[in-house]
Amino acid sequence: MAILVGGLGCSHVPSIGAALDKGLMQTPDWKPFFDGIGPGRDWVAAQRPDIAVAIFNDHGNAFFLDRVPTFAVGCADRYEIADEGWGPRPLPAFDGDAAFGWHLADTLVANSFDPTVLQEVEVDHGLQVPMELFWGRPAARWPVRVVPIFVNVIQQPTPLPSRCYAFGAALRQAIDSFPGDARIVVLGTGGLSHQLQGARAGFVNPAADRAFLADIARDPEKLASMSREDYVRVFGSEGAELIMWLVMRGALDRAVRVCHSHYFVPASMTGVGMLVLENAAKAI
């Protein structure tokens, strides 16, 4: 059966991608953020996952407001880089794993989740930026296959945080029952606190962000029992992206070990974080 090697959390702010494209990582604005990503990258290099199941939200690039799935699962063998307005960024397309995607879709339906199945979809910064932070930019091919899971946070009604956490448990069942010996890592992207529009545009909440990074490891039920309104109030309207991390956390055991945690504020208008978790029971 497949092996769950761990869970990753990471912000996906587009300007991080621009900083990578322009080589700004050592400039005073960016150095404090990029200085903290090395241990995450080292962990991934040591674990050599075959498949990254990446939970993120599209930002109007794959789906527009006329049709927004609540949960959608990628069942394709290739995902092209979305053009977000300046042309696609210079990254290779992602190889997918359609076999795991279909197995996940089956397992979700058996657990009373009914995802949209995607056989062709482009992926935006929500996936691109965290993948490059953890895996680096490959010259030709990514060294890992990606299975994207899209969760709606751009149009009401968005799913409940508790539902996202339960979705993670069904994802775990799919991993545990997937034939073969693939090494699978689960990646949740988005957040941390930010609000890009409205009266509170520019709002960040560093104290709440730091608490989130601690609580997602030791008390995920607390975060799963918050309401959607709580997320908007505490983390900002776009900080509600943090429900992506609950899917990742729900796929792990109750007891986890924190292998790496990094926080910096602000990148663009956002508190940015990186987290690496392993099941506490995992053999080291």
Which residues are the active-site residues? 125, 194
Measured from the CB atom, the residue of 32 and 180 that comes closer to ligand DHB is 32
- Does residue 269 touch ligand DHB according to CB under 6 A? yes
Residue type, 272: V
Return the residue of 89, 103, 194, 262 that touches ligand DHB, per CB under 6 A. Answer: 194
196-215 binders of ligand DHB (CB under 6 A) = 196
- Does residue 103 touch ligand DHB according to CB under 6 A? no
* Torsion sign (Cα): 264, 187, 124, 157: negative
Measured from the CB atom, the residue of 60 and 143 that comes closer to ligand DHB is 60
Measured from the CB atom, the residue of 59 and 145 that comes closer to ligand DHB is 59
Residue type, 252: L
44-63 binders of ligand DHB (CB under 6 A) = 59
What are the Cα distances from residue 122, in Å, to 84, 150, 210, 230, 281?
10, 11, 32, 31, 36
Return the residue of 6, 9, 14, 130 that touches ligand DHB, per CB under 6 A. Answer: 14
Contact map string, positions 228 to 257, toward ligand DHB, x by CB under 6 A? ----------x--x----------------
Q: CA 157: distance to chain centroid? A: 20
What is d(CA 65, CA 85) in angstroms, rounded to the nearest whole number? 17
Which segments of 152-255 are extended strands (E)? 183-189
Measured from the CB atom, the residue of 98 and 154 that comes closer to ligand DHB is 154
Helix (H, G, I), strand (E, B) or coil at 263: strand
If phi > 0 it is left, if psi is from -120 to 50 it is alpha, else beta; for residue 7 that is: beta
Residues that bind ligand DHB (CB under 6 A): 12-15, 59, 190, 194, 196, 238, 241, 268-270
